[in-house]
Structure 1
Amino acid sequence: MSHGKHFTLYSHFGGPNGWKVAHVLEELNLTYETVFLKFDKNEHKGPEFTRLNPNGRIPALIDHRNNDFVLWESDAILLYVVDKYDTEKKLSVTDEKERYQLIQWLFFQASGQAPYFGQFRWFAKVHSEKIPSAVERYKNEILRVFGVLDGVLSKQQWLVGNKLTVADLSFVVWNYGAKIDLKEHDAGYNVEKDFPALAAWNAKLEALPSVTKILAQRTAMLKQ
């Protein structure tokens, strides 16, 4: 593979966490090449990838301008990218307390949003056995997380520092997918009615040119 690009991003066409990294790279105008692993061929568990990420999950990022430095875990990648390359602080903060708040939201996204949203999709759409109690549990977790975000965003425009940061961008893809999954599960579900501040924040994020581009790419790949 040519290393003409700044980064190589290992991702999957359906996996939200790889696209989450792409949002930030796009917003910072950093050049990258994406390698989409084929999960049906178990490429994410093969030796070529596990030498980069021993956990065998996407994403992983190689920084070719830093001696091919490799990093995995999506929110760790986001922090690395902004710490090293967001010199204008477009998506990061300078105040020490706000930095820890930013990290706080990334931890919440990684532990409180993504796992539960992913489990809802699994039990509602993929799992071979229908387990209504599991679907209900994880649906309620989505609504709980939406409620946390809505409560905060009803008082402020952005999560940290009164500006767009990687904290906000980290939630985009999972929220986008959850809205679709909930609508398919319950046609009467209305995020705008139940969580208006969250819905307005989502709309602002999805209207960003970088986000619009990435969401369109992902949607096109999912349809292939």
Structure 2
Amino acid sequence: MIQVYSDATPNGHKVHIMLEECGLSYKVHHVDIGAGDQFKPEFLAISPNNKIPAIVDPDGPDGQPMPIFESGAILIYLASKTGRFLGNTDREKFVTLQWLMFQMGSIGPMLGQAHHFRVYAPEKIEYAVNRYTNEARRLYGVMDKRLSSNAYLAGSDYTIADIATFPWIRSWQNQGIDWADFPHAKRWFDEINERPAVKRGVAVLADTRKSLTDEKSKEILFGAMQYAKH
């Protein structure tokens, strides 16, 4: 049984959804990032960057336990383990991986900054709000154009690129997005949102979800504790 160390965040949901889509058995260990659980030595031993999610597969490639951190790496690992959602040919795999990297390098970081400056920042800095809201809209435009001629981000098949991207798009309102501007992305979002495995995946740890806007949580996530030596 795969051990999953996670929280109810977009990056956590990526892995929850993938595990549900693949039908793999797993046990979730809640890492309360608002309380600082990510800095505990036992978690840092698995995820040295103090970020969720992380997994430990007791049945690794060599028969030994395999710990993995970074959500994109986890998705690739699970896709390789199960032979699903990565593509069958080399071309399909590389197309999938480039759109996965689009999520990892652009969608996640930029939409995360949009969330921070629009929702979490202690003061509203107009330049930062405009900068990241505009970047969010640009990225939605990239997806919308791609999805105007493809069912999914990597082409005709649902892949880990979609699984990685979808959870970040669930917070479209916090990103200043008007769906009327991105009809193809909206079609894609609605379709994925109705997948049974996706519904199960986003329900994982949902009862632990909190706003993270209280002063203690913000200090842990964005203050001195984040930058202390652990």
TM range (shorter): 0.7 to 0.9
Pick from 72, 79, 82 the counterpart of residue 82 of structure 1: 79
Return the offset for 1:94: 1.2
TM-score normalised according to structure 2 size:
0.85
Counterpart in the other structure of 1:52: 46
| Aligned 1:1-224 pairs, distance under 5 A | 6-13=1-8, 15-66=9-60, 67-86=64-83, 89=84, 91-177=85-171, 179-182=172-175, 190-191=178-179, 193-217=180-204, 219-222=206-209
Matches of 2:185 and 2:206, distance apart in 1:
22
Q: Describe the SS at the equivalent of 1:40.
A: coil
TM-score (norm 1): 0.87
When residues 38 and 222 of structure 1 are mapped into structure 2, their CA distance, relative to the original with a 3 A threshold, is closer
In structure 1, the gaps of 5 or more residues are: 1-5
| Aligned-partner Cα distance in 2 for 1:76–1:33 | 19
Aligned to 1:160, the other structure's residue is in SS state coil
Deviation at residue 65 of structure 1 after TM alignment: 1.6
Letter in 1 for 2:5: Y
What is the count of residue pairs matched by the alignment?
208
- Contact 2:5 2:54 survives alignment (8 Å): yes
Offset, 1:156 = 1.2
Q: CA deviation at 1:42?
A: 1.7
Q: Is the CA contact 1:9–1:59 (under 8 Å) kept in the aligned structure 2? A: yes
Aligned-partner Cα distance in 2 for 1:173–1:220: 17
- 1:157-198 deviation line (CA, Å, top 9, x unaligned): 112241111111111110111x1314xx5xxx531x100000
Identity of aligned residues (%): 32
Gaps of 5+ in 2: 212-230
Shift in alpha-carbon separation, 1:47–1:220, aligned structure 2, 3 A: closer
Contact 2:7–2:205 (Cα < 8 Å) also in 1:
no
CA RMSD of aligned residues (A): 1.6
Deviations 1:103-148 (A, max 9, x none): 1011110011001111111111111121111011111111111000
SS in 2 for 1:205: helix
Per chain length, whose mean CA-contact separation is higher, i.e. which structure has more relative contact order (CA < 8 Å, sep 6+)? Answer: 2
Cα deviation, residue 22, structure 1: 0.7
Q: How many Å separate the matches in 1 of 2:126 and 2:206?
A: 28
